[in-house]
């Protein structure tokens, strides 16, 4: 006589199935939040471009991702488009406190820290560099070497004002690509000489993520500075 087949275990009810589905969703959300937190803390973070100071490299309303590993473990270089905190008060104060929703988006890395302000400019002078503009020459000079800057906004001069500065240790000199519409280091010489602290740099702009039509990388134009000599020790 053959043995009777074993009875099938009892099928789980709809309440159990719903609870299991909800548990899986919660686990997925928690993992996604943790991954997002790790990525935005150590690797990349999203930023929004509100002005035309970097046109046409970056346009108004562009969304970018900045590489947070620059500076350290990777070093900054001349030509990098850097994102830095407004620690020196170049921008007017925030008009209102961030909302709870903005704080959540900041936490997961979709927005930068909601209670801090950031600027985006091109790094022209590294510590020790002498950066100058002589209208008679019509070009910027870095350590005496005149440079051609293909990223400057069409029709703009390299600068609307003459200047000559030597960048102190631990600082950088930054300028917008839209030189006629950028309140950059040239316009803040009354605040720390116009120099930005290296420690204020949050990262290097690497990718344009939005709008879709502008997907691509942000060029540092290393060729512009290829012939610039090392700064003369003083």
Three-state secondary-structure class, residue 83: strand
Catalytic member of 40, 121, 171, 182:
121
Closest by CA to 141, choosing from 131, 149, 150, is 131
CA 28 to chain centre: 29
Catalytic member of 40, 53, 159, 220:
53
The Cα-based distances of 21 to 14, 16, 90, 165 in angstroms read 10, 9, 50, 63
**179 C-beta neighbours (distance < 10 Å), count:** 22
Closest by CA to 201, choosing from 123, 107, 110, is 123
- What spatial distance separates the first Cα and last Cα of the chain, rounded to whole Å? 103
| Phi (first) and psi of residue 196, to 5 degrees | -100, 135
Strand-pair partners of 221: none
The Cα-based distances of 136 to 57, 64, 158, 162, 182 in angstroms read 27, 37, 12, 10, 22
Whether 99 is catalytic: no
Whether 121 is catalytic: yes
- Which residues are catalytically annotated? 53, 121
């Amino acid at each position: 006589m053959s043995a009777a087949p074993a009875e099938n275990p009892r099928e789980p009810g709809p309440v159990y199935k719903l609870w299991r589905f909800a548990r899986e969703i919660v686990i997925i959300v928690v993992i996604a939040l943790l991954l997002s937190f790790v990525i935005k803390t150590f690797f990349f973070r999203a930023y929004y471009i509100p002005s035309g100071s970097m046109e046409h490299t970056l346009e108004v309303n562009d969304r970018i991702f900045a590489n947070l590993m620059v500076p350290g473990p990777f070093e900054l270089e001349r030509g990098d488009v850097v994102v830095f905190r407004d620690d020196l008060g170049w921008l007017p104060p925030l008009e209102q406190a961030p909302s709870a929703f903005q704080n959540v988006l900041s936490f997961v890395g979709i927005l930068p820290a909601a209670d801090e302000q950031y600027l985006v400019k091109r790094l022209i002078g590294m510590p020790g560099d002498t950066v100058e503009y002589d209208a008679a020459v019509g070009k910027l000079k870095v350590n005496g070497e005149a440079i051609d800057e293909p990223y400057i906004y069409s029709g703009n001069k390299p600068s609307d004002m003459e200047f000559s500065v030597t960048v102190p240790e631990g600082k950088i000199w930054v300028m917008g690509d839209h030189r006629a519409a950028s309140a950059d280091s040239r316009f803040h010489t009354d605040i720390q000489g116009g120099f930005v602290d290296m420690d204020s740099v949050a990262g290097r702009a690497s990718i344009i993520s939005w709008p879709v039509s502008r997907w691509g990388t942000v060029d540092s134009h290393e060729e512009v500075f290829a012939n610039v000599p090392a700064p003369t020790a003083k």
